Every structure is written in structure tokens, then in C-alpha cells.
Structure 1
Amino acid sequence: MTRLFNDPAAFADEMIEGFAASHSHWVRRVSGGVARNTESTPDTVALVIGGGSGHYPAFAGLVGQGLAHGAAMGNLFASPSSQQIYTVAKAANNGRGVLLGYGNYAGDVLHFNQAQERLRAEGIDCRSVAVTDDISSAPVAEHSKRRGIAGDLTVFKVAAAAAEAGYSLDAVTEIGERANHRTRSFGVAFTGCTLPGADTPLFTVPEGRMAVGMGIHGEPGIDETDIPTADELAELMVEKLLAEVPAGIDLKSSPTPVRVVPILNGLGSVKYEELFVVYRRVAQLLDRAGLQVVDPQVGELVTSFDMAGTSLTLFWVDEELEALWAAPCDAPAFRRGSVTAAVLSPEHSSLSPATELDIPDTTPESQAAAPHILAALTAAEAVVITNADELGRIDAVAGDGDHGIGMERGVRAAVIAATDAVARGAGAGTTLHMAADAWADKAGGTSGALWGLALRAVGDAVGNAVKPNANAVATGVVNAAAAIMRFGKAKPGDKTLIDVLVPFGDALTAEAGTQQSITQAWGAAAVIAQQAADNTAQLVPLMGRARPHAEKSLGTPDAGAVSMALIINAVHATLTHGASPKENP
């Protein structure tokens, strides 16, 4: 378990501060993460990588000459927010465009895509590569749905080397995509990991058993088996990976041995000596298969706190990819060859100072409604905090167990932002917009992105001109659902918060059409929302980290749907008599 921490909520920030202080030769802290502390070649592509904290040396340990130009660092196991990614990319930009690299998780996809759109809107050419190397998380026919695990390293390394060599953004992107296509990984775990301040691990494995096909965020494996010997584990992993050779590679007809980079990755608690014993057999099996091993890597490269587990990655190189893989680099956690010493960046403030946003003009009617929005958010905060542990428990059945933590971070930030908005005389729309941005930025992860979209959509609908009524709020809720489905790609039946938000929005619209007050309309629609949340127990997840473990979640409601219903009911209480119910899911 994680033993050394102060306030668990401050762990990620304090970790980044300490990392930057101890590796100042390579990195400097910037708003949202870290960037190179050395001068990069002007007019070259910048590679900005990122993901949740808790995976060191990914992602910050891969920032340096010949590797990434910056890393956006989210909270523990939560994707960085679009604001974090944007600010790191701005700090890292060398003038020839930015390539964003990240693992293929719903929250990362949402936030990195939003940051990409924002950068493009400012005239910065930006592309993305989502790593999809985990063969356990989806069949080969659905390769685009696979998770990114230790294969992050191969994709980031060769893309960075191409950027360092002066390739165009198109060419760097193609290199990253080709590397992703040629990378496959398979992992196992003997125990789950425990986050700072938590009493129990995110998942458990029975004594003497091994989880097969687990993720790197505390997601349980897709299967279990008895713990094998080191040789048997090597045979299992090699067998799984050789059963899926990437398209375009023919082991039988190649005139020369096919070349492959093997990466045996420790997830946190398996010791290096154990990994060497396993790799001994991996090397024998790859040689028996007629493969030419190139620059094998054994060690901790993408971890998961104290998880006891390991994964094997095979990177099937061609001539160009091999040369880029072997190119010199110098980062805190990954070094190859000899790089020309780079000049340290000039002294400057590494953290962007907070800027106070202007408050748009509003009317007295809209301004008078803003405190009611703050009261609703405060009620949401109370109910989320009360139920955070239970929301985490529900999420851990088939996911990574961090939903309660993420919701708590987001709603706290939203309340702080809304409090500031009200104090400065903001209208209803602005109050919701400021709360939305704060929620998305501080929570990160999938829920942070989605709640940010939702609150902003409602803010757009109510505006700053008139007192919000039932029709305006209903329009905002419907637009919120549409925005989430557009960005998150979820639809009703996928076992997400959409299964609550869509019927709630439809019911609210119907009730508002009968000229009822917002209190009456919301109350009637809240009944529908609660029933919809309960009904998700009969669904299997088709989106997000829970999707590979779909059957495990049958009989348990979706955590995002439950938290949505809790908040809807809490808001109704503020509309009726100002109470903040703290009922359990």
C-alpha cells in the first residue's frame, strides 16, 4: 500500500513538485505538468504526452532531449484536464505543430481532443495518437477500443525521435501510428494497488491466484488462474502475443528474421530480480520462434503504484522504427546513447499566474438566480462527499474505483468557483460556466470532462439575461446530454450517466411544457432519473474502463449514473426547502 503521503487530495501536486525539484536538469514545472528545462531545436514538432499520475516513470519521466517535450499530469489514475494539456502544449510548442500522445481511455480521449481543438483554433497545428496496445481489452477487430498500457513507451519514443530529427508533423504522426499498429502488450497481476489514504486496494485477487489481462488503473483482470511458475508465466505471455502478429508481418515468408523489441514491465511490486527470471524464458521462446530480439527492456516503465504484476510488450520494428527506437535520448527515466548537451532554458516563472476572468454583464434577474445555482452545487457537494466511498465501491466492481474521488474533487472545485462568481456579481450563465471549467480542470478523468460539458451546456441555455425558468433549464439538460454523446460517443444503453441524463432531460422537457414551475418539473423528472439509475444494474457497460469487464458489472448500477441521480435529487431538495439529502445509493 502507499504509506508516505500528507493530504491524499494533495498527493499528485506534491509529487509533481518533488519530481520537478529533483530532476531540474531535465524538466521544469509548468501549469498542468512538466516541460523540458532545456532548449529544444526551433521549428520542430513538439511531442506532448500525458495521463493520470500513479504510473511513474510514465509520463513525466519520459520528458527530455530525444523524448517528450512535455507531459500533462492528471490526478491519480485520472486523465489531465483539457486546460492542463493545453497549457503544457503551449509551453512545449516549438513552432512546427504539436503531437499529443496518450493511452486510449475515455477521459484522456475527451480531454486531449478538447485541447487539440483549442490549439487548432489558435492556429497551432495539432494531431493525436491514442495508444492501443493491450490485447486483453478488445478483440483485434475492435483494435481502436483497446487500452494503452506499457506500449506507450514504444510509440512515444519513436515519435519523439522523429520530431527531434526534423520530421514534419504529418510524418511524426504517421510514425506514431505505425508504431502503435506494431505494438502489442499482455499483462497479469497478483494483487491490486492501494491509493494514498485508501484502506483497501482497488481490486483483490484470491490468495494463490493471478488476474489475467488487467489494466494499469486498478481495473481487475478479465480472468483468473492459479499463479504459475516464472517459466509458465513467460510461456503464457509469449503465447498470447505471438497469436496476434500485427498485419503486414509474415513470420514464415520473411527472408530474414523478423526483428522485435521485447519490454518486460514491472507494475510496482514485482522486483527486478523476479523480472529477470521471467525474461530468461521470454528470450528463449522468442529465439525458438525465429525472432531477432532488439534492445530488450526489463524494468519498471509503466507502473500502477504498488500493484504486484507484470506485462510483456512486443514492438515489431521495421528498419525506420528500429533506427528511431535506437536514437539517443536523455530523460529522467529513459536514456539511450549520447546526446549533445542542451542549453538550459532561461530563467522564467514555470507556473503561469492565475488570471481572474472578467465577469460579463448581466441583469438583476439573472444575478439574483446565481445564489440558487450555488446552493444547488453546494447540495451536490454534500451528497457526493457523503457517498464518495460507496461510489468508489460501485466503480471498482468493473472499473478502477476512483469515481467517488474524482467526483469529490470536481464538485469541490465547482463550488469554490461558483462562490467566487456569486461574490463578484455574476449572472446564472456565468456562474455555471465558471463552475463547469473548474470541475473539468480539477477533477480530470472522464467524469470531469462530462460534468464540465454538462454544466456549460446548462449555462449556455439559461444565459445572463433573464431569470432561468423550467423551459430554459430543460433545454440546457437536453443540450448537455447531446454534448456528452457527441464528445464521449456514449448512447443510451451503454451503461453510463447518459442512461440517466437522457430520460431526465426528456421528462424535464415534458413537464416544463405543461407550464409547471422549475421545482415541480424537476421533482417529477427526478423520479424518472432515479429509476433510470437503478435500471443500469441490468445493463452491461459498452464504454469506458468497465467495458472489458462487462459481465462483472451485471447486477450493479453504473457509478456515473448513480452519482447523477444523487445530484439530481439533491438539487430538487434545494428547490423545495433548501435541504441537502445525504441518502446512500
Structure 2
Amino acid sequence: MTWLFNHPSDFAKEMVSGFVSANAAIVRQVPGGVVRSTCSKPGTVAVVVGGGSGHYPAFAGLVGQGLAHGAAMGNLFASPSAQQICSVARAANNGGGVLLAFGNYAGDVLHFGLARERLIAEGIPCEVIAITDDISSAVADEEEKRRGVAGDLVVFKAAAAAAERGDSLEQVLAAARLANQRTRTIGVAFSGCKLPGAGQPLFTIPEGQMAFGMGIHGEPGISEMPIGTASELSHHLVEHLLRDVPSSVPQVKGARVGAILNGLGSVKYEELFVLWHSVAEDLAQRGIEVVDPQVGEFVTSFDMAGLSLTLFWLNDELEGLWQAPVYSSAFRKGSRFNEEPLPAGQESENQVAPLPKASAESRQCAVRIAGMVDALAETVIENAEELGRIDAVAGDGDHGIGMERGVRAAREQARQALERGAGAGSVLQQAADAWADKAGGTSGAIWGVILNTIGITLGNERQPDTLVVAQAITRACDGVMHFGKAKPGDKTLVDVLLPFSEALNQQASRGQPLAEAWWNAADVAERSARETADMVPKIGRARPLAERSKGTPDAGAVSLAQIIRAVGRCMNRESETGGMACH
């Protein structure tokens, strides 16, 4: 369990503060994460990594000369928001563009993808790479669906070394892709972890058993089997990795590999060394030469009892990148850099960006939109426990908690924007950033896309009518499918959003007033949410337990339908009183 904390909700924030204080010569804090506290070469590419907190030394511990230039960190086991990622990327930018590198989790893919678009729009060249080293999470023919685990370090290191020598953004991305393509990881867990303040572990494993291939958040693996000797476990790990040798490796015998034996939290270094003794023998017997093996903790999961073995198949290019010197708080190699400290930064968590000018009509409309945000927030808070129960059937059960965090933040930010004279579009965009920032995860990213897209479409000049709102919902749906990669039938929020959008557009084409059109389309949304119970999830964390979810609707689809109906009730009340946002 996690023994030391003050308030569980403050754990991630206080952890980052303490880490920076203890490592001030290497890192400094900026809104959303940390960056190097030392000077980097002007004009070079900045490598920004990130993901949820709770996995130290990933990600903050890998910031330093020769490794990452910055790390964006979300809440515990939740992806950082696009806003946090952009903040870190701006602070880390050296003028040569930014590479965003992260594990291949749905929330991270969404948030980092959104951040890339924002940075490019600001004039900062940006590329992304989602790391896919975990062979247990998808078959070889679907490598793009695999998770990123301890192999993150290999990709981060290769990209950073390429950036350090002055490669272009395209070349740094190519180095990262090379490392990712040649890296494979398999893990095993003996028991689950407890988050700060949690009464129960995140997952459990039967006594005397180990979960082979389990992910770092408790995602299902390949099988459960009795705990054997270190030698027996070594054989299992090596055998599975050698079944998945990259196609670019000409032959196994005589190959040179890098290796990382990673402890996930509770397995002690002495145990890891015992296991490495067997792994080294197994590899040597197969004629494989190990180069610079690393044994220790590189990606953890609080007090999770488990470990993983990573092999990365070297060629001359990748070996040179791996062996290049690095000096970070948690990973060091070669001689220390003769770096200069950065001047004191001016970043502040309380910086407030100016709002676009808004017409009087749009400000009036913004008052009603803020009221709708209040209404949907109350609905989510009221149903948070039930949403969590639905999500727990085949997911991790955090949908209700995440949605509640998101709506509370969105409601507060909408009110603040209103007080600053924001128009309708700005109120929604401010609420979008706050929702994505605090909710984290996939749902936070998706709702950030939805509200931000609607806000952009409504703008800050005119009152919205049915046609404009229908167009905004259509664009939001397109954005969610583009960033989230979900399609109709995948058992996601899209299975409600798309039919709702189509129904609203039909109502708009008939000239229906907005309140009436929305209310009628809400019937379609609720029916569509119920129909997801008959579907089998094809993407996301529920996919490995697809059959278990049969008969239960998708939590994201249900929460969207509830929100649509809550907004509809608000529109009806406004319409009855002559509200301008509801005509």
C-alpha cells in the first residue's frame, strides 16, 4: 500500500513539488510538469515525454541532459491534458521543434495528438510517437495496438541522443521509430498496487499465482500460472520475447541486444539480480550478446509486485544512441555534461491568458451556456457512482470519478470566464481545457475535444441557432472520431454522439427551434446509449475483457446521453423564459 500522503487528491501535486526541490540542479517545475533546469543547445529538437503520475522514474526522473527535455505529468494513472503538454513543450522548446513521446494508451494518444495540433498552430513544429513495446497487449500483426511500458526508456533515450547531436525533427522522429520498432517487453505481476487513500488494491491476483503479461495498470495479460523459481520465470520471459523478434533482425544467434530488467515497485533489487542471473544465462545459451544491461526500477506502479523484461535489438545506429552519455535524476550513463544552469524562469501556475473580445449578444448567450454547464455538472455528480459501477464491468471503474473531476473543474472555469466577460465560445473553450486538465484519461480528452470544437464553432459574435449548434455537434463528432480513432460499433461514446448529431441535423433542416430539436434528438441519444449494451468493445481498456461487457452499456455512452438530456432540460427552461441561447 501507499503509506505516506497528506490528502490523496494532493498526492501528485506534492510529489512533483518534492521531486523538483530534491533535484533542482537537474529540473525545474513549469505548469503541467518539469523541464531541464540546464541550458540545451539552441536550435535543437526538444524531446518531451509524459503520461500519468504514479510510475516514477517515468516520467520526471528521465528529464536531464542527454535524455528528455521535459515531462508532462497527469494525475495518478491519468494522462496529462493537452494544455499541460503544450505548457511543458513551450518551456522546453529550443527552436528546432518538439517531439512528443508517450506510451500507447487511449488518453495519452488523444491528449498528445491534440497538443501537437495546438503547437503546430502556434508555429512550433511538432511530431508524436506512441510507444508500443508490450508484446502481451496485442498480437504481432497489430503492433500499433500494443501498450508502451519499460521500453519507453529505449525510445526516449534514442530520440534524445539524436536531438543532442543536432538531428532535425524528422531525423529525431526516425530514431525514435527505429528504437520503438526494435524493442519488445513482457511483464509479470504477483499482486496489485494501492493508490494513496484507497481501501482496496487496484487489482488482485490469486494467492500463489502470477499474472503473466499483465499491464502496469492491471490490464489483462496472457495467463495466470503458479509462481515458480527465478530460473523458470526467466525461461518464460525469454521464450516469449524470442517468439516476437522484429522482422528487421536478420538472425537471433550472434545478435547484440540491450536489456532492461525493470522492477514495478515491490520486487527488490536483490530479487531482480537473481532473476537477471538466469536471464543472462538463457540469452548466452542462445548465442545472444547483451550490451550494457540495466537492472532496477525504470517504470513502476506504486507498490505493485511485479517486473518486466525488455530486449531491444541493436544495430550500429541504435547502439550508438543507447550508449551516448546522459545525466538525469534517475538514469545516468557516461561522463557528466558540463551544462550551464538556466536563468530563473518566469512561469507561473496562475498565468491567465487574455480572452478574445465578445459581442454583447454573445456575452448574454454565455450566461445561459454557463448555466448549461452547471446543469450537466450536477447530472454527472449525481450519477458518478453508477457510472463507475458500469465502467467496472469491463474497465477500471474510474469513469464516474474522472467525469466528476472534469465537470467540477469545467463548471468553475466557465464561471470564472463569465466573470471576465467571455463570449459563448470562450466560455466553452475555457471549460473544455479545465475538464481535460482535471479529468485526465480518455474521457477528459474526449470532452475537451467536444466542448472546444463546439466553442470554436459558436464563436464570440452571434447567438447560436439550431443550424449552427447542429453544425457544432457534427464537427465535435468528427473531431472525436479523428483523435480517438473510434468508429460506430466500437462500443464507445461515438455510438451516441453520431446518431445524436444526425438527429439534430435532421431537426435543424426542418426548421425546428433549438430547444425542441435538441429535446427530440436526446431521445435518439438515450436509445443509442441503451443499445451499446448489445455491443462488444473493440478499442480501449475494455477490449481485452470484451465478452464480459456484453449486456452492459458503455459508461461513456451513458454519461453522454445523460448530459445531452440535462442540457435539453436547461434549454427548455430557458426557452420558456425567452432565453436567447435556446431559440
TM-score, scaled to structure 2: 0.93
Structure 2 residue 342 is the aligned partner of structure 1 residue 319: no
Q: Partners in 1 of 2:232 and 2:241 — Cα distance? A: 14
Alignment partner, residue 391 of structure 2:
395
Q: Partners in 2 of 1:475 and 1:38 — Cα distance? A: 47
Q: Partners in 2 of 1:396 and 1:322 — Cα distance? A: 43
Which stretch has the larger CA shift, 97-106 or 417-426?
Answer: 417-426
Alignment partner, residue 225 of structure 2:
225
Q: Partners in 2 of 1:279 and 1:395 — Cα distance? A: 38
* Aligned-pair CA distance for 1:559: 2.2
Describe the SS at the equivalent of 2:78.
Answer: coil
Match of 1:437 among 433, 439, 454: 433
Equivalent residues of 1:78, 1:406 under 8 A apart = no
Q: Partners in 2 of 1:101 and 1:436 — Cα distance? A: 23
* Aligned-pair CA distance for 1:333: 0.6
Alignment partner, residue 255 of structure 2:
258
| 1:534–1:185 Cα change, 3 Å | same
Q: Partners in 2 of 1:233 and 1:299 — Cα distance? A: 17
Equivalent residues of 2:535, 2:550 under 8 A apart = yes
* Aligned-pair CA distance for 1:154: 0.7
Q: Partners in 2 of 1:142 and 1:399 — Cα distance? A: 21
Deviations 1:235-273 (A, max 9, x none): 211111000111121336x6xx21112211111222222
For structure 2, the residue ranges without an aligned partner over 5 or more in a row are 575-583
* Aligned-pair CA distance for 1:133: 0.4
Q: Report matched runs for 1:418-497 at 5 Å.
A: 418-497=414-493
Describe the SS at the equivalent of 2:279.
Answer: helix
Deviations 1:292-319 (A, max 9, x none): 1112222211011222221111111112
Alignment partner, residue 535 of structure 1:
531
Q: Partners in 2 of 1:419 and 1:356 — Cα distance? A: 16
- Between the aligned residues of both structures, percent identity stands at 60
Q: Partners in 1 of 2:457 and 2:343 — Cα distance? A: 46
For structure 1, the residue ranges without an aligned partner over 5 or more in a row are 579-585
Q: Partners in 1 of 2:422 and 2:172 — Cα distance? A: 45
Q: Report matched runs for 1:79-158 at 5 Å.
A: 79-158=79-158
Equivalent residues of 2:64, 2:328 under 8 A apart = yes
TM-score, scaled to structure 1: 0.92
Q: Report matched runs for 1:32-431 at 5 Å.
A: 32-251=32-251, 257-351=254-348, 353-364=350-361, 366-431=362-427
Letter in 2 for 1:295: D
Deviations 1:308-367 (A, max 9, x none): 221111111112322221222111111112123322212233436512422422233x43
Structure 2 residue 12 is the aligned partner of structure 1 residue 12: yes
Q: Partners in 2 of 1:380 and 1:306 — Cα distance? A: 37
Matched residue count: 574
Describe the SS at the equivalent of 2:65.
Answer: coil
Letter in 2 for 1:372: R
Q: Partners in 1 of 2:318 and 2:64 — Cα distance? A: 20
Deviations 1:422-448 (A, max 9, x none): 223333222212212222233332222
Q: Partners in 1 of 2:232 and 2:548 — Cα distance? A: 27
Alignment partner, residue 583 of structure 1:
none
Equivalent residues of 1:203, 1:396 under 8 A apart = no
* Aligned-pair CA distance for 1:166: 2.5
Q: Partners in 1 of 2:545 and 2:462 — Cα distance? A: 47
Deviations 1:397-453 (A, max 9, x none): 433433233222221221112112222333322221221222223333222221111
Alignment partner, residue 582 of structure 1:
none
* Aligned-pair CA distance for 1:550: 2.7
Describe the SS at the equivalent of 2:378.
Answer: helix
Q: Partners in 1 of 2:2 and 2:190 — Cα distance? A: 17
Q: Partners in 2 of 1:291 and 1:427 — Cα distance? A: 64
Describe the SS at the equivalent of 1:20.
Answer: helix
Which stretch has the larger CA shift, 436-445 or 264-273?
Answer: 436-445
Describe the SS at the equivalent of 1:294.
Answer: strand
Letter in 1 for 2:5: F
Letter in 2 for 1:544: G
Task: State the superposition RMSD in angstroms.
Answer: 2.2
Q: Partners in 2 of 1:3 and 1:377 — Cα distance? A: 37
Letter in 1 for 2:106: A
Which stretch has the larger CA shift, 226-235 or 490-499?
Answer: 226-235
* Aligned-pair CA distance for 1:569: 2.6
Equivalent residues of 1:219, 1:396 under 8 A apart = no
Alignment partner, residue 525 of structure 1:
521
Q: Partners in 1 of 2:21 and 2:317 — Cα distance? A: 36
Equivalent residues of 1:260, 1:292 under 8 A apart = yes
Q: Partners in 1 of 2:373 and 2:428 — Cα distance? A: 9
Q: Partners in 2 of 1:247 and 1:560 — Cα distance? A: 38
* Aligned-pair CA distance for 1:21: 0.9
Which stretch has the larger CA shift, 168-177 or 328-337?
Answer: 168-177
